[in-house]
Each structure stands twice: as structure tokens, then as C-alpha cells.
Amino acid sequence: MFENLPTVLSSGEILDKAFRRAVRVSAYHPDRLKRRKIKSLSRLQTVRDIITSTLEGYLNAFPRPEKLHPFYRDLLDLLVGEERYRRALSELDWAVDMILKLYKSYASKIRGARAEEDVERARKAFYGRVSSIVEDIGWALDELARARERLRVLPSIDPETPLVIVAGAPNVGKSQLVRALSTAEPEVASYPFTTKRVHLGHMYCGPHRVQVLDTPGLLDRPFSRMKEPERQAALALRRLPGLVVFLFDPSETCGYDLEYQRAVFEDVRRMHRGRVIVVENKADISEPAGLGLRISALTGQGLDELKKIICDELGKRGWGSKTR
């Protein structure tokens, strides 16, 4: 979604790039005044083209919030601030429009100039006006650079493809289950406000592709113990189609007793407000606790049955467009 966002130059870097390129412009005409006009017009055009093409490149690459899926729009607002992000894009729009208008105005002055001094005066005035505009949007460029750094590491979740969110207390085997269910090595990416990583894998229910997401550091403790930004990030997951597979570890080798794990479960169930499949992991080293389907992500015990339950449940909801 955001991994291909371009590097954003500062206002100084953009101006330096444009003016350095303009200095290299040359022109020839036997008449001194006409030669100066041709050269100055070419320089104005070079500055105009480099700056506007750079800014338009950012405008095309950075998505408008209203075109984002609600899941990513929530994360954008959470990580960057939607209103400030909108203002930054609006500032770039304004700058492009102003520079194009200035070019027309000063190009007209140069064409109509009757002396070389008038041509040079118009060129310098254009440079000064353009420099002021680009410097004025410096904050917007910095804002987009900050947005890029925060957004490009988000997991590439397809909001239109069914999703299975694997939740549970720490060390209950979430990442191991994602790897066991996935057809290939899961992708590893960041998620807001956790130094840990999420694992995103894919499995197939017949021809239909399903995403399987591990959420360490996000849904592995009671909602009441999360900081406000973490709560918002967790709530963003509710925007995605799919269901939750909640893992219990009856062996308690994860380091958390069943009472703590139940507290996490109750909060996840309230927060998700959808279907939650309860699973007891580590069946190879624990006794039944009567909580749900028993599996072992390590040995593969019960995984076929779990996959069938997942596919049956998602099938009831209809499928996205992703198939083999």
C-alpha cells in the first residue's frame, strides 16, 4: 500500500535541483536581446518543469485519504494525523498552481521586454517568487517525508481479501500458527506502536486466498492495559473483513496463567464484535482445558480441522475477488 512512496526532498533540495539545472541552459541567436530572451525563457521553463513535476510526483504517489480503505484511513489518522496530511497535500496543489501562473506572467514580460535589463529583472523576479513559494511549503514537504517514514513500514494487508487475525497472550504460538497455516514464509512488517513485528501469511480455501495475520504487541494484553494509541490501532483492525482465531495456552508455558489469558480473550471478543474461533494450542504438551478446538501449531495436530472451520466461516460471509 505505502511501501513505494517516494523519498521527499526538502524545499532547499528542490530549489537547488531546479536552479542548478537551469544554469546549464544555453541558447544562441545573432541578436543579443533575442538570445537573452530565449535563454531566460528556457531557464524559467526548466525551473517550472522541475519543481512542478517533483511536486506533482508527490501528489500522485501519496494517496488522498478519501480514496483509502477505512482501515488504512484510520491508520493514517493515527500515525500522521489526517487533517495535517490533507493540508500538506493541499499546499503542494497550491504551489503547483501558483508556479504555473507565475511562469505565464513572467514569460509574457520577458517576451515583451525591450531591453536586456528588463529580461534579467523579470527572470530574477520569477526566481524570487518561486523560491518564496517553495520555502513556504517546506513544512508540508517535511510532513510528507515524516508520513512516508511512518506509513511505508505498515503491513501490506489487502482490505478486500478475507483476513484471519490470530490473537492471544504473548508466546502462545501465534507466529508459529501463521507459519503453519501459510503456503509460504510469511511477510514480516511493523504495526503501529509496537517494537515487535507482525507476520502476514496466506492460505487458500479452495480457490480463495485468505490472509492470516499475527498481531504481537497489539492484541496480546487486556484492552484496559493498552495506551490510547494502541487501542486505536487495535480498533482499526475491526475495519477489515474476516474473523479472529484466539489462541489459549493451557500449558501456561507462555508465562501467563489462564486467568490472564481469559482477560485478554474477553477484551478481544468485545472489541472485535465478530466471530471468534477459540483454539487451545500446544496440545502436544498440555491437558484439555475445555476451552475450544485443540491443536498443536508445532506438530500440525488439528490444523486441518481448524482450516476447515476457518474456511466454512469465511464462506458464509462471501469471498473477496482474490483467487488462485
Residues 6 or more apart whose Cβ sits within 8 Å of residue 33: 113, 114, 115, 116, 119
pLDDT above 50 for 250: yes
Least confident residue range of 23-32, 66-75, 207-216, 313-322 = 313-322
pTM of the predicted structure, to 2 decimals: 0.80
For 266, how many CA atoms within 13 A lie in the half-sphere containing its CB? 8
The tens digit of pLDDT for each residue in 192-204 reads 766 567 788 999 9
pLDDT at 154: 78
Which residue in the block uniquely carries the three cell numbers 493498552? 226
pLDDT above 80 for 27: yes
Higher-confidence position of 237 and 285: 285
Average pLDDT for residues 293-307, to the nearest whole number?
A: 96
Rounded to the nearest angstrom, the gap between the alpha carbon of residue 129 and the centroid of all alpha carbons in its chain is 34
Which sequence spans correspond to the domains of the chain? Answer: 11-151, 163-317
CATH of domain 11-151: 1.20.120.1190
Q: With contact defined as beta carbons under 8 Å apart, do 276 and 284 qualify?
A: no
What's the 3-state SS for 237-252? HHHCCEEEEEEECCCC
Neighbours of 323 (CB within 10 A): 11
The tens digit of pLDDT for each residue in 217-233 reads 666 777 777 776 677 66
CATH of domain 163-317: 3.40.50.300
- Which of 105, 167, 155, 161 has its CA nearest to residue 130? 105
pLDDT above 60 for 322: no
Neighbours of 11 (CB within 10 A): 20
Torsion 293-297-301-305 (CA) sign: positive
What is the three-class DSSP state of 200? strand
Instruction: At 174, list the grid cell.
Output: 501465534
Higher-confidence position of 22 and 216: 22
Residues 6 or more apart whose Cβ sits within 8 Å of residue 22: 43, 44, 46, 47
Q: Is 255 exposed, middle or buried (0-12, 13-18, 19+ CB in 10 A)?
A: exposed
The tens digit of pLDDT for each residue in 50-94 reads 999 999 999 999 999 999 988 889 889 988 999 999 999 999 999
Alpha carbons 269 and 134: distance in angstroms, whole number: 50
pLDDT above 50 for 170: yes
274 to each of 4, 21, 44, how far by Cα in Å? 33, 58, 59
Average pLDDT, the chain: 90
